[in-house]
Structure 1
Amino acid sequence: MAACAVTLPAVNDQLTWIDRIIDVTGWRYGPEGGAGWGQAEAELGVTLPSDFKELCRRFVPGLFMGVLDLLRPTDDHDSTSLLGWWNSSRRWVSEHDDPAGRLYAPHDLYGPDKGSGLIEWGHDSSGGQYFWLADRSVESDRWPVVARHDPPHPWHRFDMSMTEFVYRMLADPELESFSMVTPTWRPFYLPYWQPFPSTPEEWDALGDPNREN
């Protein structure tokens, strides 16, 4: 598994990555009220990272660069429920036994009865899958990110918060194969209420470096 050389930021510095994401995308809308994470955390048996929950609060359901989707507390606005996705993944693994287990090897999906395992927090339309390597013995704000493209591509571990990882996806061309940096586009966020682009011209307008927001 390849490892990124960037060190994990101090826990009390993590929210600054959200400010950087807001700045680089030009997002200027306020948070929307909605369901909290209590039910998901109760069923998972762990507290999810605070920066992830704050990022979901600050950004309404939608897609970074029109492709990256964060899992949410519910499936409102065509979102993917983190808890629902976790439950369906575990159910699929239990029904398919060994082949399904190899799908996540050398890891396993997280379960309340296990010490550590994968919890997915996002995915993208090109097959990218983004997880925490969750560990009940470690404060959740310090869980590393584990990512890969569709199997059989290898896992990559990044010892950073998920908000730093998302920022680097948007702004760092050297983030191995997970960077979404496009030389002629400025990063953007596509909220659920905005029509999905259907032409190259509409995509270019979203990524226009001179757009107003």
Structure 2
Amino acid sequence: MEWVRRLAEAVGRDRSGVSVDWPVVERRLGTALPADYKAFCETFGRGEFQEYLTVYSSGGGTDAQVADIHEENRQIAEEDEAGAEYYLPQGLYRPGSGSGLLQWGASARGDEFFWLADDTVSPNAWTVLARDDAQHARGYDMCMSEFVHRLLADEAFEGFAGFGATRRTPPFYTPYPL
């Protein structure tokens, strides 16, 4: 996974050695996950980038923040009409329903990051969708790890919601204790 390797190099991270039980995690979600995301979890574990971005990762085994958050989002959407409207126009991903949002991260500023998960295409081809705290959304035709790398380490990338790479602040990663 080229983009995971590049991201790890940019923040000086060695492989964490996290081993995730992907079949269990994917059964919880009802879908396979992108290969770069799996490599990301096994390289980084749980943590945050630049005190800004948290990718919903795993501490290993059957632990999976991405599945926990998706279950929480679904519960909110099912219990409250305003909660369901929050995810429109795409709606939340539901297995077998075509496409919908599957959240993989969030920022300290209230930005949210999703895949536009789609049953009709390989998870490796899912679009990344970034949405700021005012719900302005933008799609990116790249994998999750490329988006994170570009956001943190590529000064030519326009960034998102006022956040992007600068020479003043080299990218860094802070792991959470397991």
The alignment's TM-score, normalised by the length of structure 2, stands at 0.88
Match of 2:97 in 1: 114
Measured after TM superposition, the shift of residue 178 of structure 1 is 5.9
Q: Aligned to 2:54, which of 69, 85, 94?
A: 69
1:43 equivalenced with 2:28 (yes/no): yes
Aligned partners of 2:104 and 2:160: how far apart in 1? 19
Match of 1:94 in 2: 78
Q: Aligned to 2:137, which of 155, 163, 168?
A: 155
Listed as ranges, the gaps of 5+ residues in structure 2 are none
DSSP 3-state at the match of 1:121 = strand
Aligned partners of 2:143 and 2:149: how far apart in 1? 10
Identity over aligned pairs, percent: 33
1:125 equivalenced with 2:111 (yes/no): no
Distance 1:177 1:137, change over 3 A: same
Aligned partners of 2:101 and 2:125: how far apart in 1? 14
DSSP 3-state at the match of 1:55 = helix
Q: Aligned to 2:40, which of 55, 58, 63?
A: 55
Aligned partners of 1:154 and 1:20: how far apart in 2? 28
Q: Is the 8 A contact 1:75 1:81 kept in 2?
A: no
Q: Deviations over 1:151-181 (max 9, x none)?
A: x331111111111100111123423436432
Measured after TM superposition, the shift of residue 50 of structure 1 is 0.4
1:19 equivalenced with 2:1 (yes/no): no
| Higher Rg of the two aligned structures | 1
Listed as ranges, the gaps of 5+ residues in structure 1 are 1-14, 194-213
Runs of 4+ in 1 over 6 A off after TM superposition: none
Distance 1:114 1:43, change over 3 A: same
